[in-house]
Chain A
Amino acid sequence: MTGQLGSGSLFCDGMSRRTMLQVGALAMGGLSLPNLLQVEAATGRKSHKAVIMIFLSGGPPHQDMVDLKPEAPVEIRGEFEPIATNVPGIEICEHLPLLAQRTDRLAIIRSLVGSDGRHAAFQCLTGHKVLNQPAGGWPAFGSVISKLKGPVQEGSLPFVSLSPKTRNGAWGDPGQPGFAGEAHAPFAPNREAAQFTLNGLSVANLQNRKQLLEGIDRLQREAGRSGAFEGLAKHYESAFGILTSSQLMNALDVEQEDPRILEKYGRGAVENAGYGDAGPLRNEYLLAARRLVEAGARVVTLAYGRWDWHGRPHGTNFENARDHFPQFDQGLTALLDDLEDRGLDKDVSVVVWGEFGRTPIINKNGGRDHWPQVACALLAGGGMRTGQVIGSTNRLGEHPHERPVHFQEVFATLYHNMGIDVSQVTLPDRTGRPQWLVDPIYQPLPELV
């Protein structure tokens, strides 16, 4: 959300210049301590429509997760067996047993099409392809929601991305604001590193408010001399208030959660997954997403794990699946249960997907390669009609057989769930030209809404 300012040199307190500038940038505009405290006092839980977007960086294997092909030839069907779910007639992977018992709360799309074929979160964040963007660029879903809906309450942030900075930047993309404007960029507290830090400051550090504000005062003086921060957008003021508010800190600090809830979600690696190039396989982020929604976020996105499983020597598709599936099974199950237990399941939509599917034929190294022809997605909550499968693939999982579902139809559905009619609403791009949120040929999925 903040610009790439500063050189990365360290202040004497060990805080990087860049970090200080980032925090300081939030403080510009004369936000005083009384203002901050006033913002901090603005709390109070209120349910609102929200979306949690879980991006499975790299493209999950549709035929090994939710569209198994036990009758396919051995070079295609893979190592896993399908298991029955709590919805008669629907089967999913044996390594997703918890979700199998909650399939009545899932809508499984087996025929997702329209993939850009790129290793990037972009399409899963915006609904659009990278090339031929309108002036200013396509805004992420969260930025559109921020623009159209604003904050839930004064002092809350509409759009939060928990994705960290990753070696493959396109996988850790928090979502660009595009022509929605910089004011609607995501608040991305984990961008400095794959740790639960806020622009390099730990939650614990932030709790030392006095020290922080002294630092900011120092920075303000420095900035005043340099003029570096003149004209920063007003949302930075608000964001700083949130950054320093106990509400946001509490939301991000999952250790404050009931230990029984934490246990249900399970833990995960702090480090970025794979080879530092993808989001961490960290179930605490799923819990943090729910807590952020309760703290006022309308859209929370996160990159979860590394699903680009080309095979040995980096582990076969199936070794990686046996690694990721159980943790994903536990985490998503906990999120679904948690949302239901807290009465949020009608308001909060959850979408889980990656940038494409994977090749039907298992390669010589036990991997599956990129397959933009078809992919899968899981949807839950948001008042949608769940407990169903939408679409199907052919016998070998190569292409849609019934009811192809485009990425943009999913986005149209999510906009619908947020109370936005994509057939009516446009946003102006940087030239002032109105742009539909999704291509007008796409509408919310009638099976779900």
Chain B
Amino acid sequence: MPVRVQLIRRHTLTHGNSIYWVAFSADGQQLATASLDNTVGLWSAADGARMGTLKGHGDGVTYVAFLPGDRLLSAGLDKSVRIWKLAEQALEKSFAGHQAYLSCAAVNSQGARVVTGGFDRAVRVNDIGSTASLAVFDGHAANVQAVAISSDGRRVISGSDDTTIRLWDVETQKPLQILNGHTRAVEGLAYGPGDAWFASAGADGGLRVCSPDGELLRSVEVPKTRFKSVAVAADGRWLATGDVEGRVRLWERETLQEMTTVAAHRNTVFSVAFSPDGTRLASAGFDRSAFVWDVAIT
């Protein structure tokens, strides 16, 4: 029997301006959204109710992730990375380093390290606990648009308007690989479970799955499509993509077969995220909305 996948919209979360990132908490009970309205929204995943708003960024917020210990990390165009105590919804600490807009970030699965990329073409890695800078990688020839970090925080990948994906070793602070598979900007990157592979999505309509060392394992190209975001389900079975036409697609990772497509947003989908148990998907867009979807597999 062929598998049938459906996305059923459950909740709508709204901001006063575009939403650039959405993330589930580790228990799947909460969502956080990062918005160009300079705030982070906190939401109940159960009913979509707003639970709080974190204010403090001086420009749009581009990334948000829940951390262990009831904390949250946000990063913004004001170049700052901020750590918040969720119980008090208060700022714990912040740090900065980029010399131009901080456009993307990722936290490793242990919640210990954060990688950030910016319009200064730099990729930076910091220890979240101490805020110490662990590495600064220069090499991209244009804005960095996407980053990902391995679960142990030792490897980083970055994608850029220069169309390359670069692999970096945090411990040696050395570049490992330059991948030239995409023909337009690399807009989304995500590691699979166990860092066994990573997925990249580009403005060329390409969705690629590569080994940790950059060997192309599988790829697909969707004509007249510009991907803006990609996410990997925790079990690695599914990929989700968002594009500039507002579509959210679900893919079977093994085959890169397109399982379902939803005209989800009225504008670019900047972020997609699976819940930890894989039963829900969240999407966030330039239309000031984030949606929570049930992932129905029959």
On A, residues with C-beta under 8 Å from B are: 269, 271, 274-275, 312-315, 319, 322-323, 326, 364-365
A-side contacts of B18, CB under 8 Å: 315, 319, 323
B-side contacts of A271, CB under 8 Å: 16, 37
Given contacts A275-B60, A314-B36, A319-B267, 12 further A-B contacts (CB under 8 A): A271-B37, A275-B17, A313-B62, A314-B77, A315-B36, A319-B286, A322-B266, A323-B18, A323-B266, A323-B286, A323-B288, A364-B142
Task: Give complex CA distance A146, B103 in Å.
Answer: 49
* B164 within 8 A of partner (CB): no
Task: Give complex CA distance A274, B77 in Å.
Answer: 14
B286 touches A322 (CB 8 A): yes
Q: Which residue of B lies closest to A321 (CB)?
A: B267
Q: Which residue of B lies closest to A269 (CB)?
A: B16
Q: Which of B89-122 contact A (CB under 8 A)?
A: 101, 103, 119
B-side contacts of A275, CB under 8 Å: 17, 36, 38, 59-60
Shortest Cβ distance from residue B184 to the other chain A in the assembled complex, whole angstroms: 12
A-side contacts of B271, CB under 8 Å: none
Task: Give complex CA distance A274, B38 in Å.
Answer: 10
| Binary contact readout B1-42 vs A (1 if CB under 8 angstroms, 0 otherwise) | 000000000000000111000000000000000001110000
A-side contacts of B161, CB under 8 Å: 364
A323 touches B59 (CB 8 A): no
Shortest Cβ distance from residue A341 to the other chain B in the assembled complex, whole angstroms: 28
* B272 within 8 A of partner (CB): no
Shortest Cβ distance from residue B164 to the other chain A in the assembled complex, whole angstroms: 16
B-side contacts of A274, CB under 8 Å: 17
A313 touches B38 (CB 8 A): no
* B240 within 8 A of partner (CB): no
Q: Which residue of B lies closest to A306 (CB)?
A: B17
Task: Give complex CA distance A269, B288 in Å.
Answer: 11
A313 touches B101 (CB 8 A): yes
B244 touches A319 (CB 8 A): yes
A-side contacts of B36, CB under 8 Å: 275, 314-315
10 closest Cβ contacts across the A-B interface? A271-B16, A319-B286, A322-B267, A313-B101, A313-B103, A319-B268, A313-B77, A319-B267, A315-B286, A323-B267
Shortest Cβ distance from residue B127 to the other chain A in the assembled complex, whole angstroms: 25
Task: Give complex CA distance A441, B244 in Å.
Answer: 47
Q: Which of B277-295 contact A (CB under 8 A)?
A: 286-288
* B143 within 8 A of partner (CB): yes
Task: Give complex CA distance A315, B288 in Å.
Answer: 12
B-side contacts of A364, CB under 8 Å: 142, 161
Q: Which residue of A lies closest to B244 (CB)?
A: A319
B-side contacts of A319, CB under 8 Å: 18, 244, 267-268, 286
Task: Give complex CA distance A322, B16 in Å.
Answer: 16
29 contacts between A and B (CB under 8 A): A269-B16, A271-B16, A271-B37, A274-B17, A275-B17, A275-B36, A275-B38, A275-B60, A312-B103, A313-B60, A313-B62, A313-B77, A313-B101, A313-B103, A314-B77, A315-B18, A315-B268, A315-B286, A319-B18, A319-B286, A322-B266, A322-B267, A322-B286, A323-B267, A323-B286, A323-B287, A323-B288, A364-B161, A365-B143
Shortest Cβ distance from residue B165 to the other chain A in the assembled complex, whole angstroms: 19
Shortest Cβ distance from residue B40 to the other chain A in the assembled complex, whole angstroms: 16
Task: Give complex CA distance A348, B266 in Å.
Answer: 33
What is the size, in residues, of chain B's interface with A at 8 Å between Cβ atoms?
23
Interface centre among A313, A315, A319 (most CB of B within 10 A): A313
Q: Which residue of A lies closest to B18 (CB)?
A: A315
Shortest Cβ distance from residue A287 to the other chain B in the assembled complex, whole angstroms: 21
Q: Which residue of A lies closest to B36 (CB)?
A: A314
B-side contacts of A322, CB under 8 Å: 266-268, 286
Task: Give complex CA distance A398, B29 in Å.
Answer: 53
Shortest Cβ distance from residue A405 to the other chain B in the assembled complex, whole angstroms: 33
Shortest Cβ distance from residue A326 to the other chain B in the assembled complex, whole angstroms: 7
B119 touches A326 (CB 8 A): no
Task: Give complex CA distance A315, B101 in Å.
Answer: 13
Shortest Cβ distance from residue A278 to the other chain B in the assembled complex, whole angstroms: 12
Shortest Cβ distance from residue A404 to the other chain B in the assembled complex, whole angstroms: 34
Task: Give complex CA distance A315, B38 in Å.
Answer: 14
Shortest Cβ distance from residue B70 to the other chain A in the assembled complex, whole angstroms: 29
A-side contacts of B267, CB under 8 Å: 319, 322-323
B-side contacts of A269, CB under 8 Å: 16
A-side contacts of B288, CB under 8 Å: 323
Shortest Cβ distance from residue A283 to the other chain B in the assembled complex, whole angstroms: 15
Interface centre among B17, B18, B59 (most CB of A within 10 A): B17
Task: Give complex CA distance A234, B101 in Å.
Answer: 52
A326 touches B266 (CB 8 A): yes
Q: Which of B144-193 contact A (CB under 8 A)?
A: 161
Q: Which residue of A lies closest to B103 (CB)?
A: A313
Shortest Cβ distance from residue B265 to the other chain A in the assembled complex, whole angstroms: 10
Shortest Cβ distance from residue B280 to the other chain A in the assembled complex, whole angstroms: 26
Q: Which residue of B lies closest to A272 (CB)?
A: B16
A-side contacts of B101, CB under 8 Å: 313
A-side contacts of B17, CB under 8 Å: 274-275
Task: Give complex CA distance A45, B101 in Å.
Answer: 54
